[in-house]
Chains A and B, each alone.
Chain A
Amino acid sequence: MKHLTEEQLNDLADDAIPARVGPEHERHIAECLTCRAEIARIRSLAKRIGALPLSIQPPAETWPMISARIRNSAPIPDQERSVLSRRPPAWSWLAAAAVLLVVVSSAVTTLVVRRPDVEVPATVASRPATDNDRNLAALSSREEGFRNTADELWAAVNARRDQLSPETIATVERSIKLIDAAILEAREALASDPNNAVIADMLAARYERKVDLLKRATELLPQS
């Protein structure tokens, strides 16, 4: 199963449906929990970005408070100055805060204007994120972690599979197939019932079993 590209997912999340998303992609979306979860995540992100103010001003009382603390601070004895001078001075915190503000603003701006050809539709901004969206997004993030770990472990086993006996490889592959089938069933059930915590727990447990099995398979490899 080939997942949609980031651009296609963004298009669908934006409800733009341009020409690059065809019927086959829509069919895939109808069947794929991962891609649907990713779309939900993008929509949720777009909503949060839309809710951000255009610029972030520090609270009005911040500067008087800081300057008063600088004025009231006791003079530093010479013998301590050399040590304390290694600490960043008070103004550096302000500078760091300013830099951080610029970075955050830039990041947000980048996210918003990343694709200037596609505007975030008002419908997306006004659509409240549902519990389903949130659950799917959280699950998607968890799943991604499991999948990445499993992929890395499987790649490690595959790269040195000639160092394991064919029987061992066969057992691992058979077991992985069984676990994958269980994962698929749980995912399909969850797709139609995203708030079902029991299924979500089961899905996570199956992933844990898969990762554990692959980890054990890597441990069987001779030490290089």
Chain B
Amino acid sequence: MSPGMRIRLALICLGVFPGVIAAQRRVDERHPISPDASIRLTLVVPMATVRVIGWDRDTLSITGTIGNDDRFDGGLLASRQGAKFYVESQKAFKEKKPAASKPVSLELRVPARSRLWIKGGGADVDIRDVTGSLDVSIVGGRIRVAGTPREVNAEAMDGNIEIVGTIPWLRAKSAAGAVTLNGGGDDVALSSVSGNVVVDEGSITRGRFETVTGDIRYRGTTPRDGSLTFDSHSGAVELLFSPKAQANFDFTTISGSISNEISSARAIAGKDMRRRELGLTLGGGGARIVARTFKGGITLRPR
């Protein structure tokens, strides 16, 4: 018997698992819809798992399970240009009790070019293969986007945001969660208050990366006309660039340190003697890369 089976059997013996099963009901909806429709999903539940997959069909499919007391409602515009659905569990919110499990679990299959809007309390939102636009906002949980949507706006309060792919226009912000981009984009802004901001691989043309206490790590490239700005109050800023990069680096820290491991240039005291600065040109110059911290360290390393 597998460990999962054993756990389920134990839960059944304790009378827990049947309760969960009994408290759930199925959702199964299919609607013909415009290929670039605007689809909105609102989750007024403590915790949900939502999986969204873009496909090459003019059909919106919603399947999954919701709590027995939850309300699932919504519909389509007559023009089929838009759809709006919501799952609501007022009871849980009024009682302010965190869910013991994740009874809401939905899978949406949407036309790839859809414009998707999802708002939820606690939710794990996983989106892939959507090429339209995404606007996702959650409180806790996680947002994960994989693919090449033309624009993404992802916001979380406590949750992590993970983007995999090259996205022309990307905005992602969290308060306490980490924001990670594995890919690139033309116009990118990532921020967090205490979470880390990480860019791994990919090329970004215009980027702004900001934290208050979280660290920032950039391991990517930027074209010669690119412009990247890194700003942290007390987090460390670590930049990994090829020594062959064509870029002008401009680093400033008020009371932190600046470390350059890519050339022999060293930071000097600024004009007002209150800050340290490092100006550095690689490959004849080009992209403008600015990093500044109040007291976090700035490190430039070869990749």
Contacts and interface: CB of A to CB of B under 8 A. Distances in A.
Given A199-B254, A220-B139, A171 B274 contact: no
A168 B138 CA distance: 11
Size bracket of the B interface = 20 to 34
A43 B46 CA distance: 55
Most A CB within 10 A of own CB, among B140, B157, B213, B275: B157
A31 B240 CA distance: 40
B104 interface: no
A157 B142 CA distance: 23
Interface stretch (A44-52, A109-117, A209-217): A209-217
B138 to A, nearest CB: 9
A85 interface: no
A186 B295 CA distance: 10
Interface of A: 165-168, 171-172, 174-175, 178-179, 182, 185-186, 189, 193, 195-196, 198-199, 201-202, 205-206, 209, 212-213, 216-217, 219-220, 222
A182 B294 contact: yes
B206 to A, nearest CB: 17
B158 A205 contact: no
18 contacts: A165-B46, A165-B139, A168-B158, A171-B158, A178-B193, A189-B294, A193-B272, A198-B270, A198-B292, A202-B231, A202-B233, A202-B294, A209-B191, A209-B193, A212-B173, A216-B155, A216-B175, A220-B157
B176 A205 contact: no
Interface string B151-192: 000010110000000000000010110000000000000010
A219 B137 contact: yes
A222 B272 CA distance: 49
Contact of A217 (B46, B157, B210): B157
A202 B191 contact: no
Contacts of A216: 137, 155, 157, 173, 175
A193 B274 contact: yes
Contacts of A166: 96
Given A165-B46, A196-B274, A216-B155, A178 B173 contact: no
A202 B256 CA distance: 14
A178 B212 contact: yes
Contacts of B103: none
